[in-house]
Amino acid sequence: MIYAASASEFLTICARRSSCTIFNANVEEKIHSIEFASDVYHYKNITFFNNDYDYETDIYRQKNVQKKDIILNSSNNMKPKTENLAEYNIFSIEFHRVETPFIIGIWIFSASVAKIGFHMTPRLSKIFPESCLLIVVGVIVGLILFKTNNLHMSPMTPDTFFLYMLPPIILDAGYFMPNRLFFDHLGTILLFAVVGTIFNTMSIGLTLWIFGKTGLFQCETPILDMLLFAALISAVDPVAVLAVFEEIHVNEILYIVVFGESLLNDAVTVVLYHMFESYSEMGSQRIAYSDILSGVLSFIVVAIGGAVIGIMWGFTTSFVTRFTYQVRVIEPSFIFVMAYLAYLTAEVFHMSGILAITFCGITMKNYVEANISFKSHTTVKYTMKMLSSSSETIIFMFLGVATVNNNHNWNTRFILMTVFLCSIYRIIGVIVLTGIANQFRLHKLNKVDKFVMSYGGLRGAVAFALVLLIDPNHVPLQPMFVTTTITVIYFTVFIQGITIKPLVKILNVKRAEKRKPTMNERIHERIIDHIMAGIEDILGKHGNYHVRDKFKHFDNSYIRPYIVRNYCGAEPKILETYSKLTIRDAMDLIRRNASNAAFSNGIDEVNFHRSSSNYEKLNASGLDTQSGWNIDFQELDYNPSKKDMGEAKIHHLLTEELCKPHKRHRRLSYSRHAVDDKDLNTQVNFKIHMNMRRILGEHKHRSRRSKKSSKEMKPNRVSFSKSLGTDLSKSETMKEVTPTATESVLPWKREDTIYFNKPLKVNEFPLWCSAKDYLENDLLKIFFFHNAG
Q: CA-CA distance, 200 to 232, in Å (whole number)?
A: 10
The candidate with the shortest Cα–Cα distance to 393, out of 102, 121, 100, 113, is 113
Query: Does 526 contact another protein by CB under 8 A?
Result: yes
Query: Does 788 contact another protein by CB under 8 A?
Result: no
Query: Does 546 contact another protein by CB under 8 A?
Result: yes
Comparison of 459 and 546: residue with beta carbon closer to another protein: 546
Of the listed pieces 81-89, 114-122, 213-221, 437-445, which binds another protein according to CB under 8 A?
A: 437-445
DSSP 615-629: HHHHHHTT--GGGT-
Comparison of 289 and 440: residue with beta carbon closer to another protein: 440
Nearest distance in Å: CB 773, another protein: 22
Strand (E) or helix (H) holding 48: strand 45-49
Query: Does 778 contact another protein by CB under 8 A?
Result: no
Comparison of 247 and 529: residue with beta carbon closer to another protein: 529
Sole binder of another protein in the list 68, 147, 530, 667 (CB under 8 A): 530
User: How many residues are present in the chain?
Assistant: 789
Under DSSP, is residue 597 helix (H, G, I), strand (E, B) or coil? helix
Nearest distance in Å: CB 442, another protein: 5
Nearest distance in Å: CB 263, another protein: 24
Residue ranges in 573-632 that form contacts with another protein under rule CB under 8 A: 574-575, 578, 581-582
Residue type, 129: P
Q: CA-CA distance, 171 to 383, in Å (whole number)?
A: 11
Residue ranges in 137-196 that form contacts with another protein under rule CB under 8 A: none
Of the listed pieces 336-344, 435-443, 622-630, 727-735, which binds another protein according to CB under 8 A?
A: 435-443
Nearest distance in Å: CB 782, another protein: 9
Sign of the torsion formed by the C-alpha atoms of 30, 35, 36 and 37:
positive
Sole binder of another protein in the list 5, 145, 570, 684 (CB under 8 A): 570
Nearest distance in Å: CB 788, another protein: 13
Query: Does 543 contact another protein by CB under 8 A?
Result: yes
Q: Left if phi > 0, otherwise alpha if psi is -120 to 50, otherwise beta: which for 404?
A: beta
In this structure, are residues 431 and 452 in contact, taking their beta carbons and an 8 Å threshold?
Answer: no
Sole binder of another protein in the list 210, 300, 337, 527 (CB under 8 A): 527
**Could you tell me which residues come within 8 angstroms of residue 343 by beta carbon, excluding any fewer than 6 positions away?**
167, 170, 171, 353, 354, 356, 357, 360
Sole binder of another protein in the list 531, 659, 674, 737 (CB under 8 A): 531
Nearest distance in Å: CB 184, another protein: 10
**Could you tell me which residues come within 8 angstroms of residue 643 by beta carbon, excluding any fewer than 6 positions away?**
none
* Interface mask toward another protein for 439-478; x: CB under 8 A: -xxxx-----------------------------------
DSSP 268-302: HHHHHHHHHHHHHHH-GGG--HHHHHHHHHHHHHH
Query: Does 1 contact another protein by CB under 8 A?
Result: no
Nearest distance in Å: CB 191, another protein: 16
Comparison of 93 and 442: residue with beta carbon closer to another protein: 442
Query: Does 436 contact another protein by CB under 8 A?
Result: no
Rounded to the nearest 5°, which phi and psi values hold at 579?
-70, -35
In this structure, are residues 58 and 40 in contact, taking their beta carbons and an 8 Å threshold?
Answer: no
The candidate with the shortest Cα–Cα distance to 141, out of 394, 436, 480, is 394
Of the listed pieces 31-39, 361-369, 524-532, 625-633, which binds another protein according to CB under 8 A?
A: 524-532
List the 2-4 sheet strands across, edge first: 2-4, 19-23, 45-49, 54-58
**Could you tell me which residues come within 8 angstroms of residue 524 by beta carbon, excluding any fewer than 6 positions away?**
none
Comparison of 522 and 702: residue with beta carbon closer to another protein: 522
Sign of the torsion formed by the C-alpha atoms of 150, 153, 157 and 163:
negative
Residue type, 589: L
Residue ranges of E strands in 684-730 = none
Nearest distance in Å: CB 300, another protein: 28
Q: CA-CA distance, 252 to 265, in Å (whole number)?
A: 19
Query: Does 539 contact another protein by CB under 8 A?
Result: yes
Query: Does 300 contact another protein by CB under 8 A?
Result: no
Q: CA-CA distance, 540 to 515, in Å (whole number)?
A: 35
Sole binder of another protein in the list 281, 525, 679, 752 (CB under 8 A): 525
In this structure, are residues 43 and 27 in contact, taking their beta carbons and an 8 Å threshold?
Answer: no
* Interface mask toward another protein for 633-672; x: CB under 8 A: ----------------------------------------
In the complex, which residues of this chain contact another protein (CB under 8 A)?
A: 440-443, 513, 515, 518-521, 523-528, 530-541, 543, 546, 549-550, 553, 567-571, 574-575, 578, 581-582
